[in-house]
């Protein structure tokens, strides 16, 4: 099933936030989860309730509002309160909107910005902080036409495989944002979604999604 919740809004013609070069600080807070893989150009809502991550959000709101989303590796449960292993490739997002609740929890809307690789971690804070290298996914000029073709193929496959009445990505999304929205919300295991994030770029990710849906 594909259910698009809080997907990135449509952009003006020629603007694709999923395919735009973005810079972020070399050190960012990490928000590791077992069931979320984030992609550039796509927005996701979160409720923040753990004290360490409430502190993380409070600190981020005082600064650049950037948080790095990473996926916990299988078997994380035994070490969850500490620093269990994570996949080293994640996606940084910026808090686009937030609400602090009376009990201290936060409701935030995080907008995906850019893929990154964790190179090391700072162990001195209650929440995880990492040094990262950005991994921009700006398509080359010769990749734009093939990407558009794959996006059209992906859209036709989605119509054929998703249940009747399921919400589909808006048709006016730019190609890169469309591909990343499908990758974000398609009903697949998170380890497969992580593999999609780790693809070398939008064209490779689009092809992988087409191959995945073509076998369903």
CATH code of the domain in which 69 resides: 2.30.130.40
Whether residues 113 and 35 fall in one domain: yes
Beta strands in 85-199 (DSSP E): 89-100, 106-122, 129-134
CA 34 → CA 11, 75, 162, 203, distances in Å?
30, 10, 25, 26
Token pair in block for residue 100: 């602090």
Q: Please tell me the distance from the alpha carbon of residue 84 to that of residue 13, in angstroms, as a whole number.
A: 42
Instruction: Residue 204: give the domain boundaries.
Output: 141-214
For the chain, the C-alpha Rg in angstroms (whole number) is 17
- The count of residues in the chain is 216
pLDDT at 8 over 50: no
pLDDT for 14 equals 53
Token pair in block for residue 128: 């995880």
Q: Please tell me the distance from the alpha carbon of residue 147 to that of residue 25, in angstroms, as a whole number.
A: 29
**Mean pLDDT score, 207-213:** 97
Tens-digit pLDDT profile for residues 65-84? 999 999 999 887 777 667 88
Tens-digit pLDDT profile for residues 90-128? 999 999 999 999 999 999 999 999 999 999 999 889 999
pLDDT for 74 equals 87
Last residue of a domain, one of 101, 134, 167: 134
Parallel, antiparallel, or unpaired: how do β-strands 27-33 and 66-71 relate? parallel
Residue 137 gets which letter from DSSP? -
Neighbours of 110 (CB within 10 A): 28
Whether residues 106 and 80 fall in one domain: yes
Half-sphere exposure of 108 (CA within 13 A, CB side): 24
Residues 5 and 29: beta-carbon distance below 8 Å? no
Residue 77, domain member (yes or no)? yes
Whether residues 129 and 206 fall in one domain: no
Residue 5, domain member (yes or no)? no
pLDDT at 154 over 90: yes
Tens-digit pLDDT profile for residues 183-209? 999 999 999 999 999 999 999 999 999
Whether residues 79 and 182 fall in one domain: no
Tens-digit pLDDT profile for residues 17-61? 898 888 899 999 999 999 999 999 999 999 999 999 999 999 999
Chain Cα centroid distance, residue 201: 14
Whether residues 158 and 176 fall in one domain: yes
């Amino acid at each position: 099933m594909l259910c698009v919740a809080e997907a990135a809004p449509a952009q003006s013609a020629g603007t694709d936030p999923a395919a735009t070069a973005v810079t972020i600080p070399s050190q960012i807070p990490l928000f590791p989860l077992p069931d979320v893989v984030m992609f550039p150009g796509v927005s996701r809502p979160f409720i923040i309730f753990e004290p360490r991550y409430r502190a993380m959000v409070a600190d981020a709101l005082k600064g650049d509002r950037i948080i790095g989303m990473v996926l916990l590796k299988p078997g994380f449960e035994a070490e969850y309160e500490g620093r269990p292993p994570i996949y080293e490739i994640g996606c940084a997002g910026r808090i686009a909107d937030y609400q602090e609740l009376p009990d201290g929890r936060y409701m935030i809307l995080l907008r995906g910005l850019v893929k990154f690789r964790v190179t090391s971690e700072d162990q001195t804070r209650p929440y995880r902080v990492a040094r990262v290298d950005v991994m921009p996914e700006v398509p080359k000029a010769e990749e734009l036409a093939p990407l558009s073709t794959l996006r059209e193929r992906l859209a036709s496959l989605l119509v054929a495989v998703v249940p009747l009445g399921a919400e589909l990505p808006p048709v006016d999304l730019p190609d890169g944002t469309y591909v990343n929205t499908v990758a974000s919300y398609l009903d697949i295991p998170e380890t497969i979604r992580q593999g999609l994030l780790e693809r070398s770029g939008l064209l490779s990710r689009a092809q992988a999604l087409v191959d995945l849906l073509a076998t369903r």
